[in-house]
Amino acid sequence: MTTDLRQSDPPATAGAPEGAGAPTDTVARIVRISGQMIELRLEGPAPRAQELFVGLDDPELRIEIASFPAEDLARGLVLSAGAPVRLGARLRGTGQGLQVPVGRDTLGRMLDLFGTAIDGGAPLDAAPRRSIFNAPPALKHRRTQSEIFETGIKAIDLLCPIERGGKAGLFGGAGVGKTVLIAEMIYNMSGAYDGVSLFCGIGERSREAEEFHREMAEAGVLDNTVMVFGQMNERPAVRFRVGHAAMSIAEHFRDELNTDVLVLIDNIYRFVQAGAEVSGLLGQLPSRVGYQPSLGTEIAELEERICSTASGALTSIQAVYVPADDFTDPAATHVFGHLSSSIVLSRKRAAQGLYPAVDPLESASKMLTPTTASARHVKVARAVRRTLAEYESLKDVIAMLGLEQLSVEDRRTVAIARRLERFLTQPFRATERFTTAKGRRVPLNQTLEGCEQILSGAFNDRPERALFMIGSITDAEAAT
């Protein structure tokens, strides 16, 4: 039963904005404009890095301080999209960095980086606010107990299970199904997950944001979901900060409201891209493959905030675009190091119509060990992976000589492997309106039972299509 999260916030967090500082006497005047980088002449005490400055004549003009080239000069990045920027304009320091509204008032809402509601609803003026820049919990406060987080997606739960309180990455190029998988996870977990889902869209298309909000409302899961967007048409500084804003909202639910949080990020590569744009605006020399020199640090600052404490579990599933399907790209390799599960999506499998296009040989999870998963789970997963690996090694022989030239044992392996590939496909609720096939959520024990039967050869006398796009193995038995 899902906890009712629409209660009043604790009094301790309902007062003044958390981390708020009094406005400073620092006034600045714009003396140089270089694209989206602004140079300010300071009048008063020097501000801190990441402090927010707002226009005196136009409060919609927002600039975040980034560096100090001289004692009385500061460089900042424009955050506001519509406000005009002109030489000589005067701004005042706020004494603090960016803050976002947090708490139960944000449930069911769609917000931007500044906490402004972009869903047409009422503003969140009464909600407590929290700085988007927070240090991760100390190591002694983190919870390290490992537990599998079921998604109801057969290929993921079997071969690369996700850790509750851990980080999982969906790696793949364009068009292989990363966003669809994330949407399906929200659908599947909304009924069984006793907590809050937070979706962070970084560099997403406006169309996708609107569709996602509408679909969540139609599915009845919007009331326990918070959505934060820094869309594709926004300034790079906005896209670079929106991930931190989403993490502040998630941390409040975890630390103050003792609630488990599922954070879904689409797409972490857009965060890296925004960082590269910001680096270029500030005149930093590019590093390997043109990325910013601080790539590893910037990814770590975001990823290390995703952790569990005694107050609650914070689980993250992140889509990671892989440029040109090159998994040696620095952005992909830096993200790999922070994850407990790596779900690799294959373009070859997508071209064959095997959805979800999870590559069973490239995907991996640290949870698939005897100390965490059941002995049955480990045994079945190893047998499935071994069978599929043997089939992969036989494909060249089959292409050159034909299936008839294989030994009886190899032909049996091929028959089992092809049926396993089709059994690991699954109709999704997120794609029902396109395929007309009813989405299915499959518990792990039913996935294991189906794989055991296929591995035993029990389905070798039945057509492969009987196992394609079904839920549990009982669907294939009923069809035949």
Q: Which of 266, 162, 158, 294 is nearest to 208 (CA)?
A: 266
User: Going by C-beta distance under 8 Å and a sequence separation of 6 or more, which residues neighbour residue 127?
Assistant: 101, 102, 103, 105, 106, 115
Contact by Cβ (8 Å): 419, 467: yes
Mean pLDDT for 132-158 is 90
| Active-site entry in 109, 178, 419, 429 | 178
218-261 pLDDT, tens digit per residue, is 777 788 889 999 988 899 999 999 999 999 999 999 999 999 89
Active site annotation includes 205 = yes
Confidence of residue 92 (pLDDT cuts 50, 70, 90): very high
Mean pLDDT for 111-130 is 92
Higher pLDDT, 88 or 7: 88
Residue reference for tokens 């927002």: 62
Higher pLDDT, 212 or 62: 62
Q: Which of 249, 272, 251 is nearest to 99 (CA)?
A: 249
How do 52-55 and 90-93 pair as beta strands? antiparallel
Instruction: Give CA separation, 441 vs 151, 430, 444, 470, in Å.
Output: 8, 11, 10, 10
Q: Which of 348, 372, 377 is nearest to 361 (CA)?
A: 348
Contact by Cβ (8 Å): 100, 129: yes
Instruction: Give CA separation, 220 vs 190, 224, 263, 438, in Å.
Output: 9, 9, 18, 17
Residue reference for tokens 């599915």: 219
Helices (H), 122-177: 154-159
386-436 pLDDT, tens digit per residue, is 999 999 999 999 999 888 889 999 999 999 999 999 999 999 988 887 888
Residue 43 β-bridge partners: 27
Q: Determine the pLDDT at residue 174.
A: 84
Residue 288 predicted with pLDDT over 90: no
> How is 9-50 classified by DSSP, letter by letter?
PPGGGSSSPTT--PPPS-EEEEEEEETTEEEEEEESS---TT
pTM metric for this prediction: 0.88
A 10 A CB-CB count for 412 gives: 14
Percent of the chain with pLDDT over 90: 64
C-alpha 3/C-alpha 196 separation (Å) is 9
User: Going by C-beta distance under 8 Å and a sequence separation of 6 or more, which residues neighbour residue 70?
Assistant: none
Q: Determine the pLDDT at residue 6.
A: 46
Contact by Cβ (8 Å): 212, 183: yes
32-69 pLDDT, tens digit per residue, is 999 899 999 998 888 999 999 999 989 899 999 999 99
Confidence of residue 187 (pLDDT cuts 50, 70, 90): confident
Exposure on the CB side of residue 36, measured as CA atoms within 13 A: 21
C-alpha 175/C-alpha 91 separation (Å) is 44
| Active-site entry in 51, 204, 298, 303 | 204
| Active-site entry in 32, 142, 205, 465 | 205
Residue 8 predicted with pLDDT over 70: no
Contact by Cβ (8 Å): 221, 213: no
Active site annotation includes 204 = yes
Residue 138 predicted with pLDDT over 60: yes
C-alpha 411/C-alpha 134 separation (Å) is 57
C-alpha 363/C-alpha 359 separation (Å) is 6
Instruction: Give CA separation, 122 vs 64, 118, 160, 229, in Å.
Output: 27, 10, 41, 17
The 3-state DSSP composition of the chain as helix, strand, coil percent (nearest 5) reads 40, 20, 40
